[in-house]
Chains A and B, each alone.
Chain A
Amino acid sequence: MVNAYAEERNARAWRDLAQGLASWRIWSLLALNDIRQRYRRSRFGQFWITISMAIFVTAIGFVYSTLFRTPLAEFVPFLAANYVVWFLISGIVTESTTAFIQAEAYLRQEALPKTIFVMRMLLRNFIAFGHNVLIVPFVFLFFATPPSWAALLALPGLVLIAVAGFLVGLVSAILSARFRDLPQIVINFLQVLFFVTPIVWRPEQLQGEHRLVVDLNPFAAFLRVVSEPLLGRVPPASTYLTAGLSILVLAAIAWPLFTRYRGRIVYWL
């Protein structure tokens, strides 16, 4: 009996995933509406995403290039590529906490697959990334940084972020529905993470055992599988290895959690 239950839960979880992914019309429309809504009635609309990013990169670029005594032409492209990718990663992690909480009205009335709302959150962040990444070519052009074919490697890197983002989304959306302190904890965690991840500083600036902060930091790995190609460099195999292993670990956590608690989520909302 217990086994039959477990088996059925597993089948339902797979069905949820398959139907959730197949319902692309639903999550893409919801994600687009989210973006539109955020910038409705503003003159530049969703390009405020791009403008905010440009302002941040310019300001922080000036400050840190002085602090680090690095030439602007070197530092600003570096910062732009890193920060754009970091913004994607931190956006996914932050917003995943409210993926189910936000969908309460839907989940309490309809038998919609839960994964729809994780995909909605993911796509929303990738749409924002699409706007943010526009500033990278501008910055490169401005500082006459030559383009490189290695930039194409950013695409598989984005796929890695999407897969990991989906898994993180599942975990943190489920746990946050149950434990309402988690969203706050996550926000604080990300603020700290911003400083220990090589976004405004280079990994080369760390020496000896401090390098472990970069080598063992999965966030650094996911950052660098996209930002390094953008900067015209091929990420080392070890970075891909860290990212790949992180995905395996995440899947090993996310799937059992989802299978076990999928049916309970709606009772927590």
Chain B
Amino acid sequence: MASIILSQVTVDFPIYNTGSRSLKNNVLRRVGGQLGQSRTDVVTVRALDGIDLELKGGDRLALIGHNGAGKSTLLRVLAGAYEPTLGRVTSQGRVTSLLDITMGLDFELTGRENIILRAILLGMNYDEARALVPEIEAFSELGDFIDLPMRTYSSGMALRLAFGVSTAVQPDIILLDELISVGDAAFTERAVARMEEIITKSSILVLASHDPKTLLKYCNKAVYLRKGRIEDAGDVERLLDRVSEELARSGKPAKGAA
């Protein structure tokens, strides 16, 4: 059974200006005398602050919060890409993060080579990787383009391939930053259908979105992030109401809770 447990997860981002990134300045600072300036000019931004979160099979979590609240950082922590500065992450199950579906796609490689590369990155062997090709080929409607370099593709074709490759393997845990919308209307329909299928079969879904309709449709619980902290957790509808209420109170027009 898939599960993710975060306890007291804190993530600090160092922001380097060009000065502190340079080795020369670092050495000179240590060699030279104190000139009264601060010892270091590294600014850290606390992106997540003491996050406690427990997800188990069947959970469909909505991440709600304004831009910069820490939604994307939290998704990257859940993916295992960011190791927290403090705190602990324990997770079980195959995680697929659809945060950047074009990850690892190489525009000089053909569609087929890209499919195999991505499958190998998922930990498959070459036979398993090759076995994936026909299905993705059919889904992304590439036709003969499958054996041409990806740089010859239209942007729609590239996105269809990226989407097909990213969703070809059923994950236990799905991490999504906005529901993906790709290509023309006909393809979008098929993409949504495919997405819904892997979401249904998955054990855990974490979805960050600004669209209340999407969140209400796919999620059964929610977390409201503000300034890197969990401000509130519980029912999706209640939290969405709270967010739009807060927006209204702060005087800004509530443009679809965006």
Residues of A that sit less than 8 Å from B by CB: 12, 23, 25-26, 29-30, 33, 37, 40, 105-112, 175, 178-182, 185, 262-264, 266-268
A110 touches B82 (CB 8 A): no
A109 touches B99 (CB 8 A): yes
> Is B121 an interface position by the 8 A CB rule?
yes
Indicate which residue in A33, A110, A180, A268 contacts B80 across the interface (CB closer than 8 Å).
Answer: A110
Query: How distant is A255 from chain B, measured CB to nearest CB, in Å?
Result: 18
B24 touches A105 (CB 8 A): no
A180 touches B22 (CB 8 A): yes
Indicate which residue in A105, A106, A267 contacts B13 across the interface (CB closer than 8 Å).
Answer: A267
Instruction: List which B115-143 residues lie within 8 A (CB) of chain A.
Output: 116-117, 120-121, 123, 125-126
Residues of B that sit less than 8 Å from A by CB: 13-14, 16, 21-24, 26, 76, 79-83, 95, 97, 99-100, 103-104, 106, 108-109, 113, 116-117, 120-121, 123, 125-126
9 A-B residue pairings within 8 Å (CB atoms): A12-B83, A33-B109, A37-B106, A40-B108, A110-B79, A179-B21, A181-B21, A181-B22, A263-B83
> Which residues in A have their C-beta under 8 angstroms from that of B81?
107-111, 266
> Which residues in B have their C-beta under 8 angstroms from that of A179?
21-23, 26
B97 touches A109 (CB 8 A): yes
Contacts A181-B24, A185-B23 known; A268 to B103 CB distance under 8 Å?
no
> Which residues in A have their C-beta under 8 angstroms from that of B22?
179-181
> Which residues in A have their C-beta under 8 angstroms from that of B79?
109-111
B106 touches A178 (CB 8 A): no
Closest to B109 in A: A33
Starting from the known contacts A37-B106, A178-B21, 4 additional A-B residue pairs (CB-CB under 8 Å) come to A37-B108, A109-B99, A179-B26, A266-B82
What are the 6 tightest A-B residue pairs by CB atom distance, in nearest-first order?
Answer: A111-B80, A263-B83, A179-B23, A181-B22, A181-B23, A180-B21
Query: How distant is A199 from chain B, measured CB to nearest CB, in Å?
Result: 27
Report Cα–Cα, A180/B95, bound state, in Å.
Answer: 32
The A contact surface, by secondary structure, is: helix
A33 touches B117 (CB 8 A): yes
Report Cα–Cα, A40/B24, bound state, in Å.
Answer: 38
B120 touches A105 (CB 8 A): no
B83 touches A109 (CB 8 A): no
Indicate which residue in A107, A111, A181, A268 contacts B95 across the interface (CB closer than 8 Å).
Answer: A111
> Which residues in B have their C-beta under 8 angstroms from that of A23?
123
B82 touches A25 (CB 8 A): no
A25 touches B26 (CB 8 A): no
B80 touches A105 (CB 8 A): no
B104 touches A106 (CB 8 A): yes
Report Cα–Cα, A43/B113, bound state, in Å.
Answer: 21
Contacts A109-B97, A111-B95 known; A182 to B23 CB distance under 8 Å?
yes
> Which residues in B have their C-beta under 8 angstroms from that of A12?
83
> Which residues in A have their C-beta under 8 angstroms from that of B24?
181
> Which residues in A have their C-beta under 8 angstroms from that of B97?
109-110
B120 touches A26 (CB 8 A): yes
Closest to B14 in A: A267
> Which residues in A have their C-beta under 8 angstroms from that of B126?
25
Report Cα–Cα, A36/B14, bound state, in Å.
Answer: 36
> Which residues in B have their C-beta under 8 angstroms from that of A182?
23
Report Cα–Cα, A186/B103, bound state, in Å.
Answer: 29
Contacts A111-B80, A179-B21, A267-B14 known; A106 to B103 CB distance under 8 Å?
yes
Closest to B24 in A: A181
Report Cα–Cα, A136/B125, bound state, in Å.
Answer: 36
> Which residues in B have their C-beta under 8 angstroms from that of A111?
79-81, 95
A267 touches B108 (CB 8 A): no
Report Cα–Cα, A246/B14, bound state, in Å.
Answer: 33
Query: How distant is B46 from chain A, measured CB to nearest CB, in Å?
Result: 13
> Which residues in A have their C-beta under 8 angstroms from that of B108?
37, 40
Contacts A110-B103, A179-B21 known; A267 to B82 CB distance under 8 Å?
yes
Report Cα–Cα, A199/B164, bound state, in Å.
Answer: 51
Report Cα–Cα, A187/B136, bound state, in Å.
Answer: 43
> Which residues in A have their C-beta under 8 angstroms from that of B99?
109
Contacts A33-B109, A40-B108, A268-B14 known; A109 to B103 CB distance under 8 Å?
yes
